[in-house]
Amino acid sequence: MKLINYIVLIFTLLTTSPRLFCQHPKHQNPKTNVILLMADDLGWGDVGFNGNKNIITPHLDQMSKEGIRFTNFYAAAPLCSPTRASCLTGRNPFRQGIFAAHTGAMRHAEKTIPEILKKAGYQTGFFGKWHLGWIEAEKIESRGHFSPPWQHGFDETFATKSAVPTWNPTQTPYNWKGFGSKEDGSWGGSIYLHNGKPVKDNLDGDDSRIIMDRAIPFIEKAVNDDKAFFAAIWFHAPHEPILAGPEYLAKYPDLPEGQKHYYGCITAMDEQIGRLRAYLKQIGQDKNTLIFFCSDNGPADPVTKKGIASAGPYRGHKHQMWEGGLRVPSIAIWPGQIKSKQTTDYQANTNDYLPTIMDILNINVSKKIPLDGVSLKHLLLEGKAPSRSIPYASGYMRSYSGTELYAYIKGDYKICIPQQKSEMMLFNLKKDPEEKHNLALEKPLLFNEMKSELEKVKQSWRASREGKDYKW
């Protein structure tokens, strides 16, 4: 009789109290988790999965094998803040008045991925470099305005306004004389805030690890609370100031010092991405989590010109409309849903994240507000997609320096003003991905047609930022 009672007791505990035996209930939440991973100034050619034989990125390389690798993926702009705005809204940054870094900020009328998913019951978290407005309300600066991530749908935030050193982010690197430098050795630039309050602890060593140390507890809590989660994890690596710790420098003994630090901080970031994936598998959430990875633009000007960074076979770098400034490394992975070992040359971009995520999650998005992205659902889940219905268009403008650059891609053809003091050009990207042969004089009808289409797009952008889309 006692044996029967004991069996009944054990059965009752197993069926009614799963948390006593498993820290993370694995099948309580049927909703799909979503993670946006983004590197900062990572060139197309700065990862192993795009053919770099010298850099050590085993976890990203493995992701590319287990999911889908994009060879033709574009940032919305050739620099950081504008692209970040596109990732969260599905809208070109020119619609939002974000023309360049530190210019404007995320407008509160914009509907973001975390705002939409929060209404659907998701826990939302942001970790890393925000760069879409000030995050310290009392600190008045010359450009931009206060618009922190917690005002745009994020429940949990661990953020800096902009760049910090990629190693020891509270200290000015030795010999660094650029922004944020201080003679006393402290860092005078952006600081980390946790839910709006300055952070004092666990800020030494690798910056990517510091970020992931905050992202993983957020995921753990969401899973323990039986909540689906959305996390934006936006690394600072490999943006200047670029440093790597001793163990990462040691992985590249035969490279020049500058490249040791550049590659080392990328390897450190890759290690944290591997840590994240291992944790998701440990808690039984890997097959329930859709992960996207990309860079916010091409490699930065100084490191590219020194031969440290690489845009792969493409011309140009950050701040330019050449392919090297716009085309970035990109992966999507969702075990069991996205087939492994896929490579696609489909022309996707960061504007596509919002419509893709909402389509996959069966969440309707208002059609009254124009989007510049398209859903990649069929491409991700079926390996095929219809022809792109919204051509890619990009802009970069700074009035004080007279910068006003544009790019417009339709099918195989691209028109662009690639850099300052250059004219509009036409290229066939399929035949000439290195953009060596300007076809503007050879194909005047196509050239003028595409210029006319770009002007219509620019008019639409202007109407949006001047209030057409929202009530003010």
Domain boundary among 358, 382, 406: 382
Whether residue 332 sits in one domain with residue 416: no
Whether residue 149 sits in one domain with residue 60: yes
User: Nearest 5°: phi and psi at 173?
Assistant: -65, 150
Whether residue 202 sits in one domain with residue 124: yes
Whether residue 399 sits in one domain with residue 350: no
In a domain, 26, yes or no: no
In a domain, 11, yes or no: no
Whether residue 43 sits in one domain with residue 104: yes
Cα distance between residue 149 and residue 141, in whole Å: 18
pLDDT score, position 126: 99
- Name the pTM for this structure: 0.93
Whether residue 67 sits in one domain with residue 46: yes
CATH number of the domain encompassing residue 172: 3.40.720.10
pLDDT score, position 28: 52
Domain boundary among 326, 357, 382: 382
Considering only CA atoms, which of 66, 69, 75 is closest in space to residue 299? 75
CATH number of the domain encompassing residue 409: 3.30.1120.10
Whether residue 250 sits in one domain with residue 377: yes
pLDDT score, position 143: 82
Domain boundary among 382, 400, 415: 382
Whether residue 367 sits in one domain with residue 414: no
Q: Could you count the other beta carbons within 10 Å of the beta carbon of residue 314?
A: 21
Number of separate domains in the chain? 2
pLDDT score, position 43: 98
pLDDT score, position 342: 97
pLDDT score, position 7: 45
DSSP-assigned states of every residue in 69-121: EESSEE-SSSSHHHHHHHHHHSS-GGGTT--STTSS---TTS--HHHHHHHTT
In a domain, 8, yes or no: no
In a domain, 168, yes or no: yes
pLDDT score, position 11: 47
Q: Could you count the other beta carbons within 10 Å of the beta carbon of residue 275?
A: 17
The residue ranges of the chain whose pLDDT is under 70 are 1-29, 472
Could you write out the three-class secondary structure of 135-180?
Answer: CCCCCCCCCCCECCHHHCCCCEEEEECCCCCCECCCECCCCCCCCC
**Domain span at 242:** 31-382
In a domain, 350, yes or no: yes
Whether residue 370 sits in one domain with residue 461: no
Cα distance between residue 452 and residue 454, in whole Å: 5
Whether residue 243 sits in one domain with residue 269: yes
Beta carbons of 167 and 243 less than 8 angstroms apart: yes
Through-space distance between the first and last CA atoms of the chain, rounded to whole angstroms = 74
In a domain, 23, yes or no: no
pLDDT score, position 439: 98
pLDDT score, position 29: 60
In a domain, 17, yes or no: no
Cβ-based neighbours of 215, under 8 Å, separated by 6 or more:
125, 127, 158, 231, 233, 276
In a domain, 2, yes or no: no
Whether residue 175 sits in one domain with residue 203: yes
pLDDT score, position 39: 98
The alpha carbon of 400 is separated from its chain's Cα centroid by a whole number of angstroms, namely 27
Whether residue 407 sits in one domain with residue 311: no
pLDDT score, position 141: 81
pLDDT score, position 132: 97
